[in-house]
Structure 1
Amino acid sequence: MKILNINSYYLSSTVHHSLWEALSQDKHEILSYVPVYKGYSARPECESLGTDSNVLISSCFKKNDRYMFCVKHNKICKDLVCKYDFKTIDVIHAHSLFTNGYLAYKLNQLYGIPYIVTVRDTDINQFFKKRVFLRGIGNKILKNADRVVFLSESYLSKTIDTYVHKDIKLLVKDKSLVVPNGISDYWHNNKPENIKDKPDNRINLLYVGAINRRKNVLMTVNALEELVKRGFDPTLTVVGRVEDSAIYDRLVRNTRVRYQQQMPFELLLEEYRKAHVFVMPSLTESFGLVYAEALSQGVPVIYSEGEGFDNQFAEGVVGYHVSPKSSSDITEKILMIIEDYKEIATRCLQSSTVFRWNDISQRYMDIYKELIR
């Protein structure tokens, strides 16, 4: 079996390489086509990920083409059909609905190859929500896909309820399923032996990720101040690269906030182990690997209602969802976690096993095999 992944996001997050690596453990041939604009620079942590012979990084369009959907994708499609012998491809996996799914749809029309699409945050909160003129194309891709994968139940419901045309809602729902992302085996292999005790007055909060508007870390700072007013002694550790200097400046002015640059897993492990609650009330979020990393270390999580991690588990099992625009909601949910701390933290450790890449890649393999029977 030969699988072609179309993944323009391959060099923007290590999660895509991790899935490719797990899939490649099988005896099947896993190819990855990565279209990027000329002059594109990979994120530092992804710079070495495109060196495998089965991963093709193709600079096939100009940066400004991104603003012209059809122009950009016609260039990519023209490049793509020259790169592979499609008579030998069994299944195509497009790792986003619009940017990559459109290419899978075109190849399906040309060669009849079955395809699956994974729907991501940008598909919902950028393409469907803001680029209204592309909604028809999005529905056409969904209608013709053989399987539609969502990273969470919340994104499945939001997409079908809000953006899928009425006449194909049942069709799309019937072929949709939820497959979460996984986390590095490092986290599974380094779980703590003991659960932390319930904190008393001092509460250690943690956030890991980019410092930008979308991640909404300043709302956590507001919740921090509310905890102080209630008589607690909280701290917030922030780990990640600075993308918005104005937000960073506001963070470091607060004496209860400790900022740390991006760090290797070995050091990050120590930060998770010191934390009582992981808080990330993102405005939008495809999935959020750091939530799963926190669970693997027995750290309860605060996540945004209706976003990628919501409904991975029932409310209260590993933490709580919050309104990302309400610091008081964040404060209340932190205190609810503290009230039932040992029980929730124990469930976090137990629940983190669902994020093993080997198990997730096997689910994808089962889907691929179904499509070529």
Structure 2
Amino acid sequence: MRKIVVFSNMYPSTQHPTYGLFVKNQVGLLQSAGLDVDVVAIQNPEKGKIQALKKYMTWFFRSVLYMMKNRKKLSLTHAHYAFPTGIISLIGKKMFGIPYVVTVHGGDIDKMAARNQRIADMTKNILRQAESVIVVGDKLREDVINNFDVPEANVHVMSMGVDTSIFNYVAKVEAREKLSLPIEEKILIFVGNVIQAKGLLELVEAFDSLKMSFPDSSLYVIGSQKDGQFVEELRSFIREKDVEDIHFKEPLGQADLALWMSAADALVLPSYHEGFGLVALEAMSAGTKVVATDVGGLSYLLKDQAGILVEPKNPDSLAKGLWSALDENSNVIDETVVQAKIAQHSYETILEDLLSIYRSAEKGQVDHSE
């Protein structure tokens, strides 16, 4: 295999170190295996119509120019997100004969393709022309096959993986001492963007109910607060409900985040939809119970007692799930299943599967247009 280029509309920078970090981690994994990998990506998460148009157009032309210059060196391109990123890889195949792989992360199917028929048709073409389609969860596999007519044999389920060298077990007492957290307190953490679709209003309501059974408990909301309008709505709701012991923290680096996961009694992820739910897997790898809504990839990741699944948009169900996680006499988690899930999504397994997909794609272009 010669050179690979990864295209992504999300990638970290010094100013935004967690933006698309999962893509950077996979690139690093490939480079550690000796592959020659370049990246052409958007590193600026700022929104606004003019800003978005400018950055996407610049990225588009940089990407096409890169393929034009390197077409004889490239074995394949790898697009993260079907739309809009997959358009670049599709152009590379049509103009320069470069095969491509595309990873579907969820929002590109659940949200972007649902905007209008034109985007849906473009997404379908991108997916069907790809040598291989990688989906980060089983639910996405069903959607890609059934809703976009992609041949079943061409779709591979493979998460972005968990780095078990970072997200590993640390004794709760040790982790809390390092973070100066109370040893006896019940601690819940949420990790993710502070947006309505993550179910945070329901989480506040559920936590308020939980405090009756566990008065000495705290909730830490860790993540980006860029949606100022919703953050204010959330804070107003907390004041209105008069809920105490809810703390907000900005996004953390992976090593710090792993320590917080080890310190917590449970990670809670009450999302309305979730392509995979990587933070849930990371928490499992850190030895922490996970309470999450029974949606998308979470339904598959946490089934068979790997975690505690609750009804989406249902504060009562969420409160019961959190109570089960905090109850010391509750045996709701099957540790054998948890360890099997971690092994399935370890970097070693992911790398082996990804290299196999790349080798198949490199063997030659496949026309899926029929």
Q: Do both proteins adopt the same fold according to a TM-score greater than 0.5, normalized to the shorter chain?
A: yes
CA distance in 1 between partners of 2:285 and 2:317 (Å): 25
Cα distance in 1, alignment partners of residues 59 and 247 from structure 2: 44
Correspondences of 1:4-23 after superposition (within 5 Å): 4-11=5-12, 12-23=19-30
Task: Please give the per-residue CA displacement for 1:269-310, whole angstroms capped at 9, x wherever unaligned.
Answer: 443233222111112333333212211222121223332333
Shift in CA distance, 177/17, structure 1 to aligned 2, threshold 3 Å: same
- Say if 2:340 is the partner of 1:333: no
Return the letter of the residue paired with 2:113. Answer: F
User: What is the CA–CA distance in structure 2 between the aligned matches of 1:187 and 1:351, rounded to whole Å?
Assistant: 17
Number of positions where the alignment pairs a residue of Structure 1 with one of Structure 2 = 335
How far has the Cα of 1:143 moved from its partner?
1.4
2:334 to 344, 356, 371: 344
For 1:239-318, what aligned pairs fall within 5 Å after superposition?
239-243=222-226, 244=228, 245-246=231-232, 247-251=234-238, 253-265=242-254, 267-316=256-305, 318=306
> Which residue is equivalent to 1:107?
92
Residue 359 in structure 1 maps to residue 349 in structure 2: yes
Task: Kindly provide the CA deviation profile for residues 253-279 of structure 1, in whole angstroms up to 9, marking residues without a partner as x.
Answer: 521323334444555444323322211
Q: Distance in 2 between matches of 1:65 and 1:216?
A: 30
Query: Which of the residues 272, 286, 309 maps onto 1:321?
Result: 309
**1:223 aligned partner:** 206
Shift of 1:203: 4.6
Go from structure 1 to structure 2 and tell me whether the alpha carbon gap of 1:327 and 1:158 turns closer, same or farther (over 3 Å shift).
farther
1:333, CA displacement in angstroms? 2.8
What is the aligned partner in structure 2 of residue 53 from structure 1? none
Distance 1:322 1:175, change over 3 A: same
SS at match of 1:214: helix
How far apart, CA to CA, are the structure 2 residues paired with 1:221 and 1:118? 34
Q: What is the aligned-residue identity percentage?
A: 19
Q: Distance in 1 between matches of 2:41 and 2:318?
A: 39
Q: Equivalents in 2 of 1:137, 1:298: separation in Å?
A: 42
- How far residue 349 of structure 1 moved from its aligned partner, in angstroms, is 5.0
1:80, distance to aligned residue in structure 2 (A): 2.8
CA–CA separation in structure 2 for the residues paired with 1:4 and 1:370: 16
Structure 1 residues 313 and 343: alpha-carbon distance in aligned structure 2, compared to 1, 3 A threshold = closer
| Aligned residue type for 1:206 | I
What is the match of residue 81 of structure 2? 96
Unmatched 5+ residue regions in structure 1? 44-60
How much has 1:194 moved relative to structure 2?
A: 8.3
Which residue of structure 1 lines up, in the alignment, with residue 169 of structure 2?
A: 191
Aligned to 2:153: 174
For the structure 1 residues 350 and 144, does the alpha-carbon distance in structure 2 shift closer, same or farther, using more than 3 Å as the test?
closer
- CA deviations 1:305-332 (Å, max 9, x no partner) are 332333124242x213333211122123
Distance 1:264 1:27 in 2: 26
Identify which of 10, 34, 38 aligns with 2:41.
34
* Letter paired with 1:128: A
- Secondary structure of 2:224's aligned partner: coil
Distance 2:24 2:60 in 1: 23
Contact 2:276 2:297 in 1 (8 A): yes
Question: CA 1:42–1:15 in structure 2 vs 1: closer, same or farther (change >3 Å)?
Answer: farther
Shift of 1:178: 0.7
| Distance of 1:78 and 1:240 partners within structure 2 | 32
**Residue 145 of structure 2: which of 160, 164, 167 is its match?**
160
**Offset at 1:354?**
3.3
SS at match of 1:279: strand
1:145 aligns with 2:127: no
In 1, Cα distance between equivalents of 2:192 and 2:356: 33
1:213-266 per-position Cα deviation (integer Å, ceiling 9, x unaligned):
22222211211223345x443432222332333124544752132333444455
- RMSD of the TM alignment (CA)? 3.2
- 8 Å Cα contact 1:24-1:30 kept in structure 2: yes
Aligned to 2:195: 212
Is the CA contact (8 Å cut-off) linking 1:303 and 1:321 kept in structure 2? yes
SS in 2 for 1:106: helix
Q: Aligned AA for 1:366?
A: S
Structure 1, 241-250 or 295-304: larger mean CA deviation:
241-250
Q: CA 1:260–1:140 in structure 2 vs 1: closer, same or farther (change >3 Å)? A: closer
Mapped partners of 2:254, 2:5: distance in 1: 31
Deviates more, 1:99-108 or 1:336-345: 336-345
What secondary structure, in the 3-state scheme, does the structure 1 residue paired with 2:319 have? helix
In structure 1, what residue type is equivalent to 2:170? P
Is the 1:142–1:172 contact (alpha carbons within 8 Å) kept by the matching residues of 2? no
Return the alpha-carbon distance in structure 1 between the equivalents of residues 20 and 61 of structure 2.
Answer: 26
Q: Which stretch shifts more, 7-16 or 91-100?
A: 7-16
Structure 1 residues 155 and 217: alpha-carbon distance in aligned structure 2, compared to 1, 3 A threshold: same
Deviation at 1:137, TM superposition (A): 0.9
Q: Partners in 1 of 2:250 and 2:11 — Cα distance?
A: 23
Letter in 2 for 1:223: A
Letter paired with 2:308? Y
The match for 1:372 among 336, 355, 362 is: 362
Q: Where do 5+ consecutive residues of structure 2 fail to align?
A: 13-18, 175-183, 364-370
1:100 to partner: Cα distance: 1.1
Q: Shift of the alpha carbon at 1:117?
A: 0.8
> In structure 1, how many angstroms separate the alpha carbons of the residues matched to 2:61 and 2:266?
49
